[in-house]
Amino acid sequence: MTTLLEMREITKVFPGVKALDRVSLTVEAGEIHAICGENGAGKSTLMKVLSGVYPHGSFEGEILYDGAPLRNRSIRDSEDKGIIIIHQELALIPLLSIAENLFMGNEVASRGVISWPAAFKRTEELLRQVGLNEPPGAIVGKLGVGKQQLIEIAKALSKNVRLLILDEPTAALQEADADRLLDLMLELKARGVTQIIISHKLNEISRVADRITVIRDGTTVSTLSKDEISEDRIIKDMVGRDMAHRYPERESHPGEVLFEVENWSCWHPEQAGRQMIKDVSLNVRKGEIVGIAGLMGTGRTELAMSIFGRSYGKGHQGTVRMHGKPVDVSTVSKAIAAGISYVTEDRKALGLILDEPIVKNISLANLAGVAQRWVLDKRREMQVAESYRKQLAIRTPGVQQKVVNLSGGNQQKVVLSKWLFTDPELLILDEPTRGIDVGAKFEIYTIMKDLADQGRGILMISSEMPELLGMCDRIYVMNEGRIVGELARGEASQERIMALIVTDNGKTTGKVA
Amino acid sequence: MADVKTNPLGSHLRENGMLLALVAIVVLFSILVAMQGKPMFLQAPNITNIFLQNGHVIILALGMLLIIVSGHIDLSVGSVAAFTGAVAAWLTVTHKLPVYAVIPLTLIVGGLIGAAQGYWVAYWRIPSFIVTLAGMLVFRGATLWLLGGQNIGPFPREFQAMSSGFIPDLTGLMKPHGLTLIITALAIGVVIWIGLRSRARDAEFGITPEPAGLFWGRTLIIAAATAFVGWQLASFRGLPNVLIVLAVLTVLYAFFTENTVQGRRIYAVGGNEKAAKLSGIRTERLVFFCFVNMGMLAALAGMMVTARLNSATPKAGTGFELDAIAAVFIGGASMAGGSGKIVGVVIGALIMGVMNMGMSILGVGIDYQQMIKGLVLLAAVIFDVYNKTK
């Protein structure tokens, strides 16, 4: 094998922070090379150095590509050499068609006039290569994230890619789509495209990667070859310590039934007659952690939000009870008053005011708690924020720091603080560890454990089955808006959950023995 | 990366910069006016006039800040001010209603107009730009209709006092105006007390405080300026009624926006409406309230302008919306909503007012005046954006 890329002793300094400290990376031609590391370890910065986002001269060190020094002045330079990066946040324009997106900035044109027949023909060809069966004229925004990801790859192929960099490509994908994407990566490898994948998901890495480089705190920790790859080893290198247990030890003592939903239904807010939640019944006991498993788009978030102040859907039917008594959850403030909190899956868009400091975010859902009548007591507000900063170990110079500057894990702790300050009896946690690195995940799990130990009920929605299995006392399985099964801790396994989803014929509900 | 160094001047950078700009502009005009051999720029009649002639801009800007913070815009305030001014004239001159009835009635009309526009914006989610653009046309037309294309005036003395009166001197000192001096002294004391109190609070919570020199420097400038203005006014005719109204409103709105639950919630709505909603905040009601409030303030501004001109005219209020919006953005609010302070907005409006007056005294043509004001607005916002990206 020949070496395609060699990055030597790359150092990149931002004002006040050394993001990369003499990081080296060697990628062989034709391999899939994984880069692992916690959030903020410097993975994305390294890729930005490689792709020319940070031009030559703005960092120290040397890059050899094809044996020759690489000096990018811009992204364009690196793309000309066949280095193409697909970012976590997809860069497609949702209102335009697939063909328009594929050739954006690279139009099939002569003298400035686009030839649409030619563009459509090439588009069809590229879509076939990535295995996407959609007409070239389809509007990108109407396709799912999985398909959009494939379009990004097709776009890379149209630029004669030699080194393809995928930054957390499966983060937003459900399992089937993620699988398809990984297959495609292997296919591209067979055709000689060298690839770098940045990922948090260790099972995926062990499936596709030939070698792994682990980065921690801006330095290279290790490069492992295929046969050295094991999840435990990777985790150990990532966090710099052994993690014998990925989940906190927990002895659960569920109490009486705290929260009950009975025959809950609701309909799509725009598409008349489309029932999104179908006759769902479930319950959570005091001190119990209950999971909801299911594929993305099966209505788990919709269920949670429709219960939480009818924040989703219309035509709500059904009963919600706390301590056996029906409660009014028709508005968010009533749901909060009833002792329910909902921690969103999308903390940046729905959970936080990014430009405001931590202290103002924490008090937001319970301003009355830091006010006398309607006048804010800012001293009390600071004390509250400080106490949550200590309790949940939010790592920040101070609670006046804007939340936009915090890492994902710390942001999640701020959102949790906000809801804990409403003193909820039941917390609905929607994907509580999404986009959070391994170390912070453990902290979030520990917080969940503590909350359950205090006698609060937790309803946890997650797409990561291992975390459901690791944390929950019971797991409900949801498919197409219905509960299709309920598994107790002892009987739950990834296979059982998948089996319930796959064999769901749209009618049966009930407990599976 | 996660760790970002905070600016040592922190959130005070912007306000200090604004204040400095205001001082610099005043000094600049003082020098330029002196060089032309004209009487002193900062003499009592001029100071009085700055407030009389720009009071309406400050009042509109207070309401506009809330609208912009909540993530909206109101283009109709000029027309609404004209219409409510006409309503006040119609009630006073045509129907001979007394002032104490006209003022609340007109404020109610303004509030209803705000409610009518806010209803569509808040509950139907029609973009505020469109709704208030429509309102701008509708109420300009309504003004013409109500006035029948004529001016209505003149007004009784009591009505005029709203814009051109001065507070009585209860001390009986008269020269200088005793009550004015007392109020000035009180104001200086309050400014220092509030400043010290918030510094003490910062220290208590370990927030890096402003450097002491900066704090005292700024406080000293504010105190000296207040003392100077107070003395000048006292040796002239005392505090104008308008200034009292402006000061009371400014303090009220500053307190409302920074220290009350509802005020905080308006910032949350503008900062992230969805997050605010999921935190139990009734976002629609707050936006609706902002528009009702804006309508009432527009009515107040309309009455003040009508009283000052001593007649309601079909052309009144033209361009007010732009002055108010400019003051808000010069004052440091963000176009995207969620940020901006009352103090900044008032300073922004004063900067515009001082420039208007200074350039008029210097004999700068209206053509250049507009160009210069436009460039100042642009420069202020560029300064903001530059500071954010730095």
Q: Give the distance from CA A482 to its chain's centroid.
A: 24
Q: Rounded to the nearest 10 degrees, how much is the dihedral formed by the CA atoms of A33, A34, A40, A44?
A: 40
Tell me, yes or no, whether A263 and A392 share the same domain: no
Q: Quick one: pLDDT at residue B12?
A: 62
Tell me, yes or no, whether A136 and A179 share the same domain: yes
Position A380 in a domain? yes
Tell me, yes or no, whether A132 and A272 share the same domain: no
- Asked if pLDDT for residue A508 goes beyond 70, the answer is no
Q: Quick one: pLDDT at residue A17?
A: 62
B189-238, pLDDT tens digit by residue? 999 998 898 888 878 777 777 788 888 988 998 899 999 999 999 988 88
Contact B272 A333 (CB under 8 A): no
Residue A340: in which H helix or E strand, if any? Answer: strand A340-343
Q: Which of chain A's residues have a Cβ under 8 Å away from the Cβ of B276?
A: 353, 364
- Asked if pLDDT for residue A45 goes beyond 80, the answer is yes
**Alpha carbons B127 and B72: distance in angstroms, whole number:** 8
Q: Quick one: pLDDT at residue A513?
A: 36
CATH number for A153: 3.40.50.300
**Alpha carbons B324 and A357: distance in angstroms, whole number:** 28
Tell me, yes or no, whether A168 and A190 share the same domain: yes
Task: Select from B226, B232, B244 the least CA-distant residue to B189.
Answer: B226
- Asked if pLDDT for residue A199 goes beyond 90, the answer is no
Q: Quick one: pLDDT at residue B69?
A: 97
Domain count, chain B: 1
- Asked if pLDDT for residue A108 goes beyond 70, the answer is yes
Position B359 in a domain? yes
A452-502, pLDDT tens digit by residue? 999 999 999 998 888 898 899 999 999 889 999 999 988 888 888 878 877
Contact A410 B2 (CB under 8 A): yes
> Which residues in B147-156 are b (16+ Cβ under 10 Å) and which e?
beeebbbebe
Q: What band does A430 get if pLDDT is binned at 50, 70 and 90?
A: very high
Listed by number, the residues of chain A in 3-62 with a beta carbon closer than 8 Å to a beta carbon of chain B are 14-17, 19, 40, 45
Model pTM above 0.90: no
Position A414 in a domain? yes
Among candidates B3, B260, B268 on the partner chain, residue whose Cβ is nearest the Cβ of A353: B268
Q: Which of chain B's residues have a Cβ under 8 Å away from the Cβ of A379?
A: 201, 204-205
Tell me, yes or no, whether A55 and A173 share the same domain: yes
Q: Which of chain B's residues have a Cβ under 8 Å away from the Cβ of A332?
A: 277-281
**Alpha carbons A203 and A511: distance in angstroms, whole number:** 30
Tell me, yes or no, whether A187 and A76 share the same domain: yes
Contact B3 A353 (CB under 8 A): no
Position B199 in a domain? no
Position A245 in a domain? no
Tell me, yes or no, whether A136 and A155 share the same domain: yes
Q: A418 is in which domain, residue-wise?
A: 348-423
Position A324 in a domain? yes
Task: Give the ipTM of the model, two decimals please.
Answer: 0.89
- Asked if pLDDT for residue B8 goes beyond 50, the answer is no
Position B321 in a domain? yes
- Asked if pLDDT for residue B95 goes beyond 70, the answer is yes
Highest mean pLDDT among A433-442, B23-32, B38-47, B105-114 belongs to: B105-114
Contact A350 B278 (CB under 8 A): yes
Q: B364 is in which domain, residue-wise?
A: 15-27+40-165+240-389
The arithmetic mean of pLDDT across residues A117-126, rounded, is: 90
**Alpha carbons B285 and B330: distance in angstroms, whole number:** 28
- Asked if pLDDT for residue A398 goes beyond 90, the answer is no
CATH number for B139: 1.10.3470
The arithmetic mean of pLDDT across residues B385-390, rounded, is: 71
B299-318, pLDDT tens digit by residue? 999 999 999 999 999 999 99
- Measured in angstroms, the CA of A375 and the nearest CA of chain B are apart by 4
Tell me, yes or no, whether A313 and A367 share the same domain: no
Tell me, yes or no, whether A218 and A116 share the same domain: yes
Q: Give the distance from CA A3 to its chain's centroid.
A: 33
Tell me, yes or no, whether A166 and A293 share the same domain: no
Q: Quick one: pLDDT at residue A505?
A: 57
Single out the residue in A205, A239, A273 at which a domain terminates. Answer: A239
Single out the residue in A392, A423, A454 at which a domain terminates. Answer: A423
B263-291, pLDDT tens digit by residue? 999 999 999 999 999 999 999 999 999 99
CA distances in angstroms from A35 to A181, A196, A215, listed in the order given: 17, 7, 7
Q: Which two tokens stand for residue A394?
A: 């939010």
Tell me, yes or no, whether A433 and A325 share the same domain: yes
Domain count, chain A: 3
Q: Does A147 touch chain B (CB under 8 A)?
A: no
The arithmetic mean of pLDDT across residues B257-261, rounded, is: 95
Q: Quick one: pLDDT at residue B9?
A: 46
- Asked if pLDDT for residue B390 goes beyond 70, the answer is no
| Minimal-distance CA residue of chain B relative to A20 | B1
**Alpha carbons A186 and A180: distance in angstroms, whole number:** 10
A/B interface, count of CB pairs below 8 Å? 106
| Minimal-distance CA residue of chain B relative to A331 | B280
Percent of chain A with pLDDT over 70: 95
Residue where the block lists tokens 């109610």: B108
Q: Quick one: pLDDT at residue B389?
A: 67
Position B219 in a domain? no
3-state secondary structure of B314: coil
Tell me, yes or no, whether A164 and A274 share the same domain: no
From the candidates A11, A342, A364, A384, which should be mutated to test the interface with B, based on the most B CB atoms within 10 A? A364
Q: Which residue has the higher pLDDT, A326 or B8?
A: A326
Q: Does A226 touch chain B (CB under 8 A)?
A: no
Task: Select from A143, A153, A259 the least CA-distant residue to A197.
Answer: A153
| A174-178, A368-372, B221-225: the lowest-pLDDT one | A174-178
| Minimal-distance CA residue of chain A relative to B202 | A379
